Structure formats: structure tokens, C-alpha cells
A and B are shown apart, each in its own frame.
Chain A
Amino acid sequence: MTSPSVDSTSSDRVMIHLDQLSKRFPGQHDNAVDELTMDVREGEIVVLVGPSGCGKTTTMKMINRIIEPTSGRIVLDGEDVTRTDPDQLRRRIGYVIQQVGLFPHLTVGDNIATVPTLLGWSRDRTRERVDELLSMVNMPPESFRDRYPKQLSGGQQQRIGVARALGGDPAVMLMDEPFGAIDPITRDRLQNEFLRLQSEVRKTIVFVTHDIDEAIKMGDRIAILQEGSRIAQYDTPEQILTHPANEFVASFIGRGASLKRLNLSRVADIELSPWPTVGVDASPEEALQALRATHHSAVLVLDESGRPRRWVGAEDVRHAGGRPLDQVGLPPEPVVEPEVTLSDALNELLTARYSVTIVVNRQGAFQGVVDIDQITDAVRTMRRTAVSRARAGLDENP
């Protein structure tokens, strides 16, 4: 299987069980959510996705009873919470909304301390937790703890929003289009960061979006909802892309399902290609030697710790005129980390000078490259896997 998350993250324990949950708003004829029954397993990200007005946000907000259900039951970790004290319930559930809603008159640190304070944690424990969370969302505590929300960019505010939701270390998080109001580049980065964070904290997450691409990228499982929050299909992203259950799902996914599948696997899941490299203090002759040994038109110059420094071609070496290798040629672009999706990698390499994307580990050391052949291979493998799995299901239930 290409996506590592599906099989490894979630246990079989049901964390959230919704039982025939309905909501009818006063003065409306139809149920906004109509007898929805679904399970969310511990440690998985379930994305609720659907057209606007399908009831996905209402569904999510009924889990922490910001919207009280008209009928049905909510079972959280085996406990029926449909009638319990909603304030106590909400302190156990992280909540992130699109508008972030940071408290403007409180510092970043005090914002994150909201739930710990409500839970009555000691001052020391709260302070430790705040610093820990700030580090987790890549914002150094010493420079951000005492700032006010107004002094942060939109992306930073949403990072604090996520940190604040994690404040009381809840088992469950609800996220309502958390990256919806953020520019595409920052959104992409926040999504990647969040996936990395989730691989550490392993929360059970219900994530609402209207963007199918975001759903495919973020979800371990996706529930595609129709009007009245009726489930059109509830399955892994692979299954939804390869075997849409009906017309509605197929049209919602839209065209380019194959390309979307590239959002399912990460660079870490495929085998990287090698690329000729030389050390930064290599002589021009050594560089040319390395070039001649392969069919590539440039070598990658690495520094002492293995970090990429320059692309150097044969022409560059000849015109170097005695300059060291890291001062000729081109900057080492594009560079990605193993967490990025193949789709991101493809985007990068399409515009790259040597038609490859450099992959580095978290320390920045060179790991290998991704080229177009590997991406087409990955697409082929995915399709084969999906088809054989579907056929396996066919054989079991004749």
C-alpha cells in the first residue's frame, strides 16, 4: 500500500460513534443532518467533505455539542455524552475553526493556556505545556510566548489555533476548515506540518473541508456527504479515487482522479533515484570524472554534512577558472523533504532545470532525487494495487 498512514495509525478501537444523529433547525422543514450513523477510529483523521450546505459543519459541531442534536446519540470513547455537561465535554475535545478566533487581548501563551487553566492545572505544568506546544508548532517559545495575536501572520495565527486546541492534550480534535482562509503556499506548508505533528501526537481527528484535494491529502478515511449529511461514500482516499461508489462521488471528485492519487503517497514511500555527487572541495577534474561516469548533465555538489550546495554542469566546471565548485553553477533547487506528497514533488520537478527534485532529510542531508519516471511508476503501482484489492473483495463475496 502506498499510503503508510492508513494501516499504521488507526487502531480498531472506535473513538467517536455517532448513532442516528439528526439536527433540525427551528423553522426549517428538512433535517440539516438526517440520521447519520458513523464511526471514527482512534488515531485516524476522518475528513468530512461535501458541497456547501450538505451539513458537514453541523455534523462536526454536534460532536462537541456547539450545536445540540435534535435526536440520536454521541458516544465518545465508549461513553454516551449526548446529555452530559457540555462544558466538561468540550474541555476534552480540541476545537479549531477557520477564523481561528484567537483571544486578541491575551498573549499567545495565555491563549494556549486556556484549556489547562479551565482544567485547573498548576502554573508550572501549564507553562511547561505552553512551551512544549509552541515548539511542536515550530514557533520558538521565547520569541512568541508573550506576543499578541495581532502581531502574527495568518499562518502563524492558525498554528497557535492548533496549539491552543491541543492545550489540554485532548484525545479528539475537531477541525473546521482550519486552513481554508490561508494563502495556498502557506496552506500547503501548514498541512504538511500538521501531518507531521499528527504522526507524533496521534489524535483522533474529525476534519471538515469542502476541498476534495485537501480531503485526499489529509484524510486516513474520507466521508463524502450529500445533502442532509447522508454518507455517499466512507472509505480510504485510494478506494474513493479508484472506486467511487456512485455518480455523486465521481462527479464530486471531478476529473483528474489519477493526478489526485499523487496526493496519496509521499516521497518517503517511493525508492529515490541516485544522482552523481561530489564533495565541495573536489577538484574540477574529479567533477568532470563524475559527470563522465553517468548520462546526467550536472553533478550535485555537497558540503561536509552532505547538504546540497550547487548544481554544476560540465560547462560550469570549464569556465570555473579556479573558483571552488560551490561558487559556480546553479543553486540546488528544488529541494523537498520526504513528507511532501508526490503531487508536490511533481509540481517542483516540472519547472526544475534538470527535471528532478532533490530530496533531503530533516537535517538537510542529500537522500536522492525524484524524477518523472518514478512518479509515473508510482501511479501505475497504485492503480494495480487498487484493482487487485477490488478484485480480491470480488472473489471473497461472489
Chain B
Amino acid sequence: MSAPTSDDTTTQPAVTEEYHAGHRRSLAGYLVMPGVLALACLVLYVYVSQQELDSIEARSLNAATLTGALWEHVQLTAVSTVLTLLIAVPLGIVFTRPFTRPIRSYLITLLTLGQAVPTIAVLVLLAVVFLFLGFWAAIVGLVLYAIIPVLLNTMVGLEQVDKAVLEAGRGMGMARFTVLRRLELPLAVPVILAGVRTALVINVGTATLVTYINAGGLGDVIVAGLSTNRVTIQIVGAALTAVLALLIDYLAGIAEDLLRPRGL
């Protein structure tokens, strides 16, 4: 009792350093994935350049065609993901407010059911029933599918925020919107970002299917190889898709690390 605070307040500052190290990867950790992916591309390049390409193969396997397909693929993924975020995050916020509580459980059931419907079915439906083809039809199909993980993660992310934190915020006179903006959303960021990462990876993979509704992308390369029975073309298309998916997942991982609030 003579020194009422001594042992409690002199926590060693060493805690601080340990604590930061735990959350961020080391520089070497960050460099592993790009190295592996570059190596994979190099191997693929060496393999293809040693083949005798016939005229069909040469038409698909040239720099212009491949970068064109790759660029289309990146656009499909990026646009669909941005739209997904713009739709799913606000919806997630709305569906975690008290006034939507009565319909929340029905909604989650519906969404889970929706996720069971394959994207290809959505795409075919759009094309056959609505005669809706091309880039934006592809975007609709991709967004419809990717909304679900982002929406669910947004809801889970917002609901897992410690209720005591919110009560403290309200109790100190933060308005509801301030609580959302300054407490709920920042604290939900890690979970929301995990959903976004999932959506991105889903979109990269699913975007190979939109070739069937004439929307381009790396699916063009794979399908060209399949329809002409050229294994080399199929391998290149598939390998590039895989490399792109891993790269985007890697970039999303870095974004997660950077955007996660400190102190969590």
C-alpha cells in the first residue's frame, strides 16, 4: 500500500516491440510469393519458346493476344470487385442496424442458398433469357456471386465488435453515425477485408467462364486450346490464370496488413 501504483504501472516497454512484430510479416516473407510467381512465368516462357508452334498455336500464343486477354481479365476482376464492395458493404451496414433485425435471419438463409447456385448458371440465364452478353453481362454475373461473401463478412465483422466498446461510445455522447464511422467500421475492417479477398479470388477464377458469353479474358485462351485440342495453349491459359489469382491474393494480403487498424 505504500506505493499504490508501482508494480502496476511499470510494465516494460518491451511489450511494444513484441507486439508489432507479431502482426506484420518480415520483408523476406513479403518477397517469397512474387519470387515464386516470377519463376513460374519464366519456366512457362522457356517451355513454350522451345516448342515448335503450329499456326493455330501461334495465333493464341503471342504477346499481343496474351496481354490483351490478361488485361481483359484484370479489368473484369477489378470492376466486378469494386462494384461488389460498393453494393455489399452498405448492405451489410444496413442489415446490422437494429431496424432490420426482424428480417435478418431470412436474408442470411436466402444468401446462403444463392451461393449454392453456380455462376455459370447465372451467366447462361442472362444470355439465354435476357439476351444479355459481353463485358457488362459478365460483370453482373460476377458481382451477383461475389456479393455474398463480402456481405456476410461485413455483417459478421460489424456484429463481432465488442458491445462494451459501442456502449462506451454511445455513453460518451457519440451520435449513432459517429459510432459507426469511428468505432464499428474500423473494428470490422479485418473481417470485411477477408471477405473482399475471398471475393477477389473467386472473381479471378470465375472470370475464366465469361468467355462463353463473349466477354473475353483468359478464358478465351483456355477455350481456344480446348476447341482446337492444343494442350500447350490450354496449359498457358490455365497457368496464367493461376498466377494472376495468386498475385491478386498476395496483393490483397498486403492490403489487409496495411489497412488493419493498429492496436488490434
Contacts and interface: CB of A to CB of B under 8 A. Distances in A.
A103 B165 contact: yes
Given A107-B263, A140-B9, A335 B168 contact: no
Interface stretch (A144-152, A222-230, A253-261, A374-382): A144-152
A153 B8 contact: yes
Contact of A336 (B1, B166, B167): B1
Interface in B175-227: 175, 178, 183, 186-187
A337 B1 CA distance: 7
A192 B4 contact: yes
A151 B16 contact: yes
A151 B15 contact: yes
A180 interface: no
B8 A103 contact: no
A245 interface: no
B184 to A, nearest CB: 11
B165 to A, nearest CB: 5
A138 B5 contact: yes
Interface in B1-50: 1-2, 4-5, 8-9, 11, 13, 15-16, 19
A100 B175 contact: no
A144 B15 CA distance: 12
B210 to A, nearest CB: 39
B102 interface: no
Nearest to B174: A118
B29 to A, nearest CB: 23
Nearest to A99: B164
B2 A360 contact: yes
B159 interface: no
Interface string B238-264: 000000000000000000000001111
Contacts of B9: 138-140, 144, 156
Contact of A149 (B8, B170, B178, B263): B263
Given A97-B167, A97-B168, A105 B13 contact: no
Contact of B183 (A103, A150, A155, A334): A103
A263 B166 CA distance: 35
B227 to A, nearest CB: 53
* Interface range on chain A (Cβ under 8 Å from partner): 35 or more
B264 A115 contact: no
Contacts of A360: 2
A189 B168 contact: no
Given A148-B262, A151-B19, A335 B2 contact: yes
A4 interface: no
Tell me whether chain A's interface is mostly helix, strand or loop, or mixed: mixed
Query: Most chain-A Cβ atoms within 10 A of its Cβ — which of B19, B170, B264?
Result: B170
A138 B3 CA distance: 11
Contacts of A99: 162, 164
Contacts of A233: none
Contacts of A348: 1
Interface string A204-228: 0000000000000000000000000
Interface stretch (A47-55, A86-94, A296-304): A86-94
A161 B172 CA distance: 11
Contacts of A95: 168, 171-172
A348 B9 CA distance: 23
B98 interface: no
Interface in A150-186: 150-153, 155-156, 161, 164-165, 167, 174, 186
Contacts of A165: 172
A304 to B, nearest CB: 18
Contacts of B187: 104-105
Contacts of A78: none
Contacts of B173: 86-92, 115, 118
Contacts of B264: 104-105, 150
Nearest to B10: A143
Given A101-B165, A148-B262, A90 B8 contact: no
Contact of A118 (B13, B162, B172): B172
Contact of A156 (B2, B11, B166, B178): B11
A105 B261 contact: yes
A87 B177 CA distance: 12
Interface string A120-155: 000000000000000000111001100111111101
B165 A104 contact: yes
Given A153-B11, A193-B4, A335-B1, A148 B263 contact: yes
Nearest to A333: B2
B37 to A, nearest CB: 33
A153 B13 CA distance: 13
A265 interface: no
A115 B262 contact: no
A89 B165 CA distance: 19
A99 B173 CA distance: 18
Interface in B71-91: none
> What are the 3 closest A-B residue pairs judged by CB atoms, nearest first?
A101-B168, A148-B263, A91-B173
Interface of B: 1-2, 4-5, 8-9, 11, 13, 15-16, 19, 162, 164-175, 178, 183, 186-187, 261-264
22 contacts: A87-B173, A89-B173, A90-B172, A90-B173, A99-B162, A101-B166, A103-B183, A104-B165, A104-B263, A106-B263, A114-B169, A115-B173, A148-B262, A148-B263, A151-B16, A156-B11, A164-B172, A186-B8, A189-B1, A336-B1, A340-B1, A364-B2
Given A90-B171, A150-B264, A167-B172, 19 more contacts: A64-B171, A88-B173, A101-B169, A103-B183, A104-B264, A114-B169, A118-B172, A118-B174, A139-B5, A139-B9, A144-B9, A151-B15, A156-B8, A165-B172, A189-B5, A335-B1, A337-B1, A348-B1, A364-B2
